Structures are given as structure tokens and as C-alpha cells.
């Protein structure tokens, strides 16, 4: 080696050492980067493919997560329908149901016209029309999963019925329909009123249309409308199953019929029962040995099938075995303390409106699970498939009648009260079998509800006549309560530690000319906590759930130092502090963040605290992309669930 070569090498030594050092940093730092703790990455799916021992197969009607009948001939009415709007309400006088006009377009069903740019803001009447083949003579049951909001239906130009209400299935039975081609015409109107459910001006968008699955099926003169399974006396060894079957008997006579009941394909009961004419209820009990319990961490499900006669008719559903009770202020799920860690979910997506297709529902559930949630709350019964997903993947659901922010005079109105009762009945009738059901709520944030004690009492008493096996509640806005809280099983309150709304004039002064803070205010936070604590001081033996916590709007992508309003930081801080309070206080039973994703809201809220007409309090944005609050909530939920694991 000559001198110049060794000089060259000496010069290279620092470069070499630096390269080795750099490689080591890279190698050792890599796992930290890859695990997503440092930089959020797209994580793998957390949903297993199936979680049920016995599979009934896919539902050809795309309405549920499993096939609901093996005996009935069904016709899926999903697909393109001819569509016209009717802003001047001339359709009925011009008999659109016999002479459908030249369609403006064809719309996809299930769907909402308000997700189509041309009809984005349309709130009025519209008509749908299509034909379909009936493969045999028989009684045709036409079943709508949900239409928003008022509906009239004609088959071959003849009226078959009407419906008011958006969130429950309804059906019409047309007897002795002939094999061959038939035409169905549907009129829908999505206007809301002072006495509709929800009322006009509600804080979510009145997406109009046939937005949930619709199908027709052939039924015999006696058929099963629905059945409920109630697991009781649950122990490690066994659970009693009380079965109640709702039967429709069109024969006009009382008849004896055999009923069989299967669980996961095994015959559990067989017996003959007298079926009264018209509407009959059949009841029996049976025993399930060594039940596998359902819980959000271990969502074991059973398949149940009821068969009428010699395979004349059947219905399939799923159920789970779990006990949910209160013990003083504690909520116990399968005898262990349970605190809710969830989010409020609206059926809402920029591309689909309220008509969430199955893959979007699955994706939402996936995000809930990834967030570490064990619960969901809705302002109304969601799509049936959403409930199936909650059962299958382990999310408790707080269900609700959409009587949102009614005033005392509205609650006293017998028309409104009648609609609340009907929606309550429909909700329980449809969702009773879901182990995911946590509670039934009669309504949300009734204004000055202290003045409506007698009406609330009447509603709660009605609710108790329908089902005594789930928690019954109504939800208050802010940590207010009064003696009506004694009527219900659990106290539910919408609460945020820091106030997000301020003087609606949007000046930085309130109506008294005082400066209004646009950053998180510690004093407000302390006052909110004081008010919340008073609930427990006055009613120490009642469970308290924060049905909506941490609600604050944030403009996705807008960041700011110092927790300034509309920033992701402001929202994340409010979500974190409010959620943490709900989980860390011994007497509180957790809650659900307001809200899961940014959602479209009603026309009248286009101005005011709604950015471009959207309620942007989502922890993910409208397309489900995470905001800072999502990560903070995820951290909070994981930390609470695994207190020993450092996040
Ligand atoms: C209430 C109400 C929600 C929503 C929310 C908000 O908590 O229950 O539906 O309107 O306020 O965003 O202000």
C-alpha cells in the first residue's frame, strides 16, 4: 500500500463509521415506525371472517347477514326503478300508479335520491315504479326494510297500503296474486313536520327514498311473522329459552298446528298449538345446555329456526345468551363490570346518504373495533344488517326512538305520543333477538322535559308493558335531570367537559357583551364536572351513561396551537378529557363519543355552527378518514381496557 492509498483509507473511515451508524439507526428504528405508534399506518383488518358455528348461508335479499327463510319463494326488488319527482303533488290526481309518466331517470334501490347530485336537496314527493315476475300463484307479502318518510304503495294500479315512519320495516299482504308479471308503484315524501318522528329541523339529513332493502315473498294462509327468543336463568350449565312466535292466520278459522324449534340445526322443541284466527301468539320454553355466552370480546351467536307444520313455513334468526343487569350504579355484563366505550353512529355517507351498502356497514364496524370500542349508540334503529354486524363482531347497541328534542307541548300531543309508542313497539319487535341490544331509549334531549313528567311517565309505563328485559331510558341534554329519572333504569346524559357552542351571533361577545372564549376554558370544564357529579350525589344507586360525550366540531385537516375552536386539537382534547372522565370515575359507566363520522345535516342548519351544512363532530371525517380525535379515543379505549399496557 503506498502513502496516498493509506491516506485515502483514513479519509474513508469516518464515512464508513457514519454509514454503519446510520444503518443501525435505521434497522433499530424500523420496528417503531412499522408498528404505527409513531406514524399511524393502515392497520390490518381486525374483523375475523366468521364468528358463528352454524351458518345459514347468505341472504339472497341482501337484507340480513344470513338467510331468513328456507321455505318461502322470495323476489329481490332491489335494482333500478323508474323515478320521477312530483314537486306539485299531481301524481295521485293524474293516477301515476296506473299511467306512470316518462321517468326522469332510474334510481338504484335501496338508495336515497338525496345522494344523487340532481336531487341533492330535494325534499318533497317522488314516485318509483318497476315490474317484476311472480313465479307462482299465491299470497304476496311485499316487505320494505325502511322508507323515508311517508309511503303509499300500489300493485298493478291498486292501492295496497300506506306507511308513516322511516326506521322500521313494514309489509303489505296481497292475497291470491297470479303467476306472471306485476307492477309496483311507490309514492314517497321526505317532508318532516312538527308532529313527525323525527320532527322538522332535526340535526340529521332527511334522506328521502326507498333506502333499505325491499323484497316480495310468497306466503301460505298461515305464516310466521316474527319470533322472539328470551334467554333467562343463565348459568354455566344451561339457559332457559322462552320462545314467542307471532303467527298470521288468514284462514278465518282457529286451527291446530305443529311447531318445531331448532338451534344450530338441532331440534329443541316440537309441539302442537292452537292458532287463533288473524293474529296469534304461540309460546313455549326449552333449555339450552352449556351455553356459550355472548359478549363484545367473545360474540358467540346461535342460529334459531322456527318451522310451522310440515315445512309449510319457516323463519330463521340469530340470538345470543348474555346477562345484562344493574347492581346499584354498576352495569354488569355476564357478572363483570361493564363500561361503554363507544361512538354515536348515523346511517350517513357522502356517496350513499342513509342507504349504507353492506360493505360500508362492515367497514364502519371494522373502524369501531379498531378504535377499541365495545358500543354504538344511534338516534334511531339502524339498518337491520348493521344490527347483525353488531351481534357478530361484538358491539353493544343503544337503540332509540327518533323523538329528538321535542318540546313539552309536542310530547303532550296525543298524535306525537302515539307515534312514539308505535315506533317503540316496532323497534322492540324488530330488534329483540339481538344480543347487542343494550337499551331502549324513548327519545333524546326533550326540551324542558321537567314540564312533561306525566307524559314521560305514560311513555315509560307503556315501554314496560312491551319488554322488561332490557334497560329502558330517555336521554337528557347536558347533565340535567329531575324526578322523571326515577322512572327509568339507567340515567343517560349527553355531556361534554368543555362547551363547544357559544353565542349564535358568532361575535366573540355573548349577549351580555362578555368576551366568549374560543379556546377550551378550564372554568367551564370544572363547572360541567360539578353539574355531572350532582347526578350521582342525588341518585347514587343509578347507573349513569354519557350517551354523547366530547361533542365538538372540527374541520378535518385544520390544526392550531392552543386548542382553538374548529381545530382538530380542540376536538381531540374535549373528546379525551370527557371520555376519560366517563371511564375513570368509578360511578360512571362510560359512554359514546359524539360522533363517529361527519354527517350531513338538515337544510335549516346550513348556516350556524354547521360547516357547509355538515355536522363535523365526527372523530373520522365523512369518508371515514381519521382525525386526531380518533387516535386519542383509540388510545383512551385501549388504555382503559388494558391498564397495564403502555400505549
Ligand atoms: C345533541 C344531539 C345530537 C347533535 C348534537 C350536536 O347532542 O343529541 O343529535 O345534534 O347535539 O352536534 O350538537
Q: What is the CATH number of the domain that holds 407?
A: 3.20.20.80
Looking at the structure, do residues 204 and 234 belong to the same domain, yes or no? Answer: no
308 and 418 in a common domain: no
CA atoms of 623 and 44, how far apart (whole Å) = 18
Please give the angle made by the CA atoms of 316, 320 and 323, to the nearest 5 degrees.
145
CA 203 / ligand 1 centre spacing (Å): 7
- pLDDT per residue over 441-484, tens digit each? 999 999 999 999 999 999 999 999 999 999 999 999 887 788 99
Phi, psi of 184 (to 5 degrees): -115, 135
DSSP output for 84-143: EE-TT--TTTTTTTTSPPPPSEEEEES--GGGSGGGTT--SEEEEEEEEEE-SSEEEEEE
What residue owns the CA closest to ligand 1's atom 9?
203
Strand partners, 155: 158, 184
pLDDT digits (tens, 9 = 90+) for 197-232: 999 999 999 999 999 999 999 999 999 999 999 999
> Residue 519 gets which letter from DSSP?
B
pLDDT tens digits along 17-57? 555 545 444 444 444 444 445 566 777 788 876 667 788 89
Let me know how long the chain is: 647
Structural domain ending residue among the three candidates 188, 219, 250: 219
Average pLDDT in the chain: 91
Nearest CA to ligand 1 atom 13: 551
pLDDT of residue 157: 98
- Shared domain check, 548 and 434: yes
Enter the C-alpha cell of residue 83: 323515478
Which residues have a Cβ under 8 Å from the Cβ of 505 and sit 6 or more positions away? 511
Q: What percent of the chain is modeled with pLDDT above 70?
A: 89
Atom of ligand 1 nearest to the CA of 445: 8
Cell of 19: 454509514
What the block records as the C-alpha cell of 341 is: 366505550
d(CA 190, CA 146): 12
E-strand ranges in 447-587 read 471-477, 491-495, 544-549
Which of 494, 501, 552, 616 for mutating ligand 1's site (highest number of atoms within 8 Å of CB)? Answer: 494
Is beta strand 588-593 parallel, antiparallel or unpaired with respect to 340-344?
A: parallel
Task: Give the pLDDT of residue 646.
Answer: 42
Contact 398, 438 (CB under 8 A): yes
Residues 211 and 235 in one domain: no
79: domain CATH number is 2.60.120.260
Shared domain for 241 and 369, answered yes or no, is no
Give 206 Cα–ligand 1 centroid separation in angstroms: 15
CATH code of the domain in which 258 resides: 2.60.40.10
CA distance to 321, 364, 473, per residue, from 391 (Å): 11, 14, 21
- What's the gap between Cα 410 and its chain centre? 25
Q: Is the peptide bond before 237 cis (omega within 30 degrees of 0)?
A: no
* 410 lies in the same domain as 301: no
Mean pLDDT for the stretch of residues 83-107: 98
Ligand 1 atom 3: residue of nearest CA:
203
In this structure, of 214-228, 460-474, 560-574, 602-616, the range with the lowest mean pLDDT score is 602-616
Ramachandran quadrant class, 481 (left: phi over 0; alpha: psi -120 to 50; beta: rest) = beta
Nearest in space to 545 (alpha carbons), one of 296, 375, 428:
375
Distance (Å, rounded) from C-alpha 261 to C-alpha 316? 10
In contact, 390 and 357? CB cutoff 8 Å: no
Ligand 1 geometric centre to CA of 57 (Å): 39
Residues 114 and 165 in one domain: yes
Q: Which strand (E) or helix (H) includes residue 223?
A: strand 222-232
Query: Are residue 492 and residue 459 in the same domain, yes or no?
Result: yes
pLDDT at 609: 77
Residues with CB under 6 A from ligand 1: 203, 379, 444-445, 477, 494, 548, 551, 594, 615, 617
pLDDT given for residue 53 in this prediction: 79
Q: Reduce the DSSP state of residue 470 to 3 states and report it.
A: coil
pLDDT on residue 47: 82
In a domain, 101, yes or no: yes
Q: What is the mean pLDDT of residues 635-640?
A: 95
Among the listed residues 62, 73, 383, the one whose alpha carbon sits nearest the alpha carbon of residue 216: 73
- Cell numbers standing for residue 499: 362547551
Q: Which ranges constitute the DSSP H helices of 211-308?
A: none
Burial class (CB in 10 A: 0-12, 13-18, 19+), 124: middle
Residue where a domain terminates, one of 322, 356, 384: 322
Residue 17 covered by a domain:
no
In this structure, what C-alpha cell is assigned to residue 437? 341490544
Q: How many domains does the chain have?
A: 3
Among 322, 342, 361, where does a domain finish? 322
* Ligand 1 atom with minimal separation from the 617 CA: 12
Q: What confidence tens digit (pLDDT) does each residue in 495-543 have?
A: 999 888 854 444 455 556 555 557 788 888 899 999 999 999 999 999 9
For residue 566, the SS3 value is strand
Residues 240 and 209 in one domain: no
Let me know if 297 is exposed, middle or buried by CB neighbors in 10 A (0-12, 13-18, 19+). Answer: exposed
Q: Is residue 28 part of a domain?
A: no
Whole-angstrom Cα Rg for the chain: 28
In angstroms, rounded to a whole number, what is the distance separating the alpha carbons of residues 373 and 395? 7
In a domain, 515, yes or no: yes
User: What's the pLDDT score for residue 33?
Assistant: 40
Instruction: Give the count of beta carbons closer than 10 Å to the beta carbon of residue 528.
Output: 21
Closest to 210 in 3D by CA, of 152, 142, 146:
146
CB of 348 closer than 8 Å to CB of 602: no
CA of 111 to the centre of ligand 1 (A): 25
Sheet holding 222-232, edge to edge: 222-232, 238-249, 278-289
pLDDT surpassing 90 at residue 70: yes
Cβ–Cβ under 8 Å, residues 586 and 531: no
pLDDT at 112 over 50: yes
Ligand 1 closest atom vs CA 444: 8
Cell readout for 113 is 335520491
CA pair distance 365, 376, nearest whole angstrom: 9
In a domain, 39, yes or no: no
Query: Are residue 185 and residue 298 in the same domain, yes or no?
Result: no
3-state secondary structure of 229: strand
Of ligand 1's atoms, which has the minimum distance to the CA of residue 494? 7
Q: 414 and 529: one domain?
A: yes
Residue 270, phi-psi category: left (phi > 0), alpha (psi -120 to 50), beta (remainder): beta
23 in a structural domain: no
Would you call the peptide bond into 72 cis, given omega within 30 degrees of 0 as the criterion?
no
20 inside domain:
no
Ligand 1 centroid–CA 440 distance in Å is 18
Name which of 603, 605, 578, 593 is nearest 504 in CA terms.
605
Same domain, 201 and 230: no
> Above 80 in pLDDT, residue 3?
no
- Determine the structural domain holding residue 425 and report its residue range: 333-646
Instruction: Determine, yes or no, domain membership for 317.
Output: yes
The C-alpha atoms of residue 541 and residue 440 are separated, in whole angstroms, by 20
Helix (H, G, I), strand (E, B) or coil at 536: helix
The dihedral over CA atoms of 622, 627, 631, 632, expressed in degrees to the nearest 10, equals -110
Amino acid at each position: 500500500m503506498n502513502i496516498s492509498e493509506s491516506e485515502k483509507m483514513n479519509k474513508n473511515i469516518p464515512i464508513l463509521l457514519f454509514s454503519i451508524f446510520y444503518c443501525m439507526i435505521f434497522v433499530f428504528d424500523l420496528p417503531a415506525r412499522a408498528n404505527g405508534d409513531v406514524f399511524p399506518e393502515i392497520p390490518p383488518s381486525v374483523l375475523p371472517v366468521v364468528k358463528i358455528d352454524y351458518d345459514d348461508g347468505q341472504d339472497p335479499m341482501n337484507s340480513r347477514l344470513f338467510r331468513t327463510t328456507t321455505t318461502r319463494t322470495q323476489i329481490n326488488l332491489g335494482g333500478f326503478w323508474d323515478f320521477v319527482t312530483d314537486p306539485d303533488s299531481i301524481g295521485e290526481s293524474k293516477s301515476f300508479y296506473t299511467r306512470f309518466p316518462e321517468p326522469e331517470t332510474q334510481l338504484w334501490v335501496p338508495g336515497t335520491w338525496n345522494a344523487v347530485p340532481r336531487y341533492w336537496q330535494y325534499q318533497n314527493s317522488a314516485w318509483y315504479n318497476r315490474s317484476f315476475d311472480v313465479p307462482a300463484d299465491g299470497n304476496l307479502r311485499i316487505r320494505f326494510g325502511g322508507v323515508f318518510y311517508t309511503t303509499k304503495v300500489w300493485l298493478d294500479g291498486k292501492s295496497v297500503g300506506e306507511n308513516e315512519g322511516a326506521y322500521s320495516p313494514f309489509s303489505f299482504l296481497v292475497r291470491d296474486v297470479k303467476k306472471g308479471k306485476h307492477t309496483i308503484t311507490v309514492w314517497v315524501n321526505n317532508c318532516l313536520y312538527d308532529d313527525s318522528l323525527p320532527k322538522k329541523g332535526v340535526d340529521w339529513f332527511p334522506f328521502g327514498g326507498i333506502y333499505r332493502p325491499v323484497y316480495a315473498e310468497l306466503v301460505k294462509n298461515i305464516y310466521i311473522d316474527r319470533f322472539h327468543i328470551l334467554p333467562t336463568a343463565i348459568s354455566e350449565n344451561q339457559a332457559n329459552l322462552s320462545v314467542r312466535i307471532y303467527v298470521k292466520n288468514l284462514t278465518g278459522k282457529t286451527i291446530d298446528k305443529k311447531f318445531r324449534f331448532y338451534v344450530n340445526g338441532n331440534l329443541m322443541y316440537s309441539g302442537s298449538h292452537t292458532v287463533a284466527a288473524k293474529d296469534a301468539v304461540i309460546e313455549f320454553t326449552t333449555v339450552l345446555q352449556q351455553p356459550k355466552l355472548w359478549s363484545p370480546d367473545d360474540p358467540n351467536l346461535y342460529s334459531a329456526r322456527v318451522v310451522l307444520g310440515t315445512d309449510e313455513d319457516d323463519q330463521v334468526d340469530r340470538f345470543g345468551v348474555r346477562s345484562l343487569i344493574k347492581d346499584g350504579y354498576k352495569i354488569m355484563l355476564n357478572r363483570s363490570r361493564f363500561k361503554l366505550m363507544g361512538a354515536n353512529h348515523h346511517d350517513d355517507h357522502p356517496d350513499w346518504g342513509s342507504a349504507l351498502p353492506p360493505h360500508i356497514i362492515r367497514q364502519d364496524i371494522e373502524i369501531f373495533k379498531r378504535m377499541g370500542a365495545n358500543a354504538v349508540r344511534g338516534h334511531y334503529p339502524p339498518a337491520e344488517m348493521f344490527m347483525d354486524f353488531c351481534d357478530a363482531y361484538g358491539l353493544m347497541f343503544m337503540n332509540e326512538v327518533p323523538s329528538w328534542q321535542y318540546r313539552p307541548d309536542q310530547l303532550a300531543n296525543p298524535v306525537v305520543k302515539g307515534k312514539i309508542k308505535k315506533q317503540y313497539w316496532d323497534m322492540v319487535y324488530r330488534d329483540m333477538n339481538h344480543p347487542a341490544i343494550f337499551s331502549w331509549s324513548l327519545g333524546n334531549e326533550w326540551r324542558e322535559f321537567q314540564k312533561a313528567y306525566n307524559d314521560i311517565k305514560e311513555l315509560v309505563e307503556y315501554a314496560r308493558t312491551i319488554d322488561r328485559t332490557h334497560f329502558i331510558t330517555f336521554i337528557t341534554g347536558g347533565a340535567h335531570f329531575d324526578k322523571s329519572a326515577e322512572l327509568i333504569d339507567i340515567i343517560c346524559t349527553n355531556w361534554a367537559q368543555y362547551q363547544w357552542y357559544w353565542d349564535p351571533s358568532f361575535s366573540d361577545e355573548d349577549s351580555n357583551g362578555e368576551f366568549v372564549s374560543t379556546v377550551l376554558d378550564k372554568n367551564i370544564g370544572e363547572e360541567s364536572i360539578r353539574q355531572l357529579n350532582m347526578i350521582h350525589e342525588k341518585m347514587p344507586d343509578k347507573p349513569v351513561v354519557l350517551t354523547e360525550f366530547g361533542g365538538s366540531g372540527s374541520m378535518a385537516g385544520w390544526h392550531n396551537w392552543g386548542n382553538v375552536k374548529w381545530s382538530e386539537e380542540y376536538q381531540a382534547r374535549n373528546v379525551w378529557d370527557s371520555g376519560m372522565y366517563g371511564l375513570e370515575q368509578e360511578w360512571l359507566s362510560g359512554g359514546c363519543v359524539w360522533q363517529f363520522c361527519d354527517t350531513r345535516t338538515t337544510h335549516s342548519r346550513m348556516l350556524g355552527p354547521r360547516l357547509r351544512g355538515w355536522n363535523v363532530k365526527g372523530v373520522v371525517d365523512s369518508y371515514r378518514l381519521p382525525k386526531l380525535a380518533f387516535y386519542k379515543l383509540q388510545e383512551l379505549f385501549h388504555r382503559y381496557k388494558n391498564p397495564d399496557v403502555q400505549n
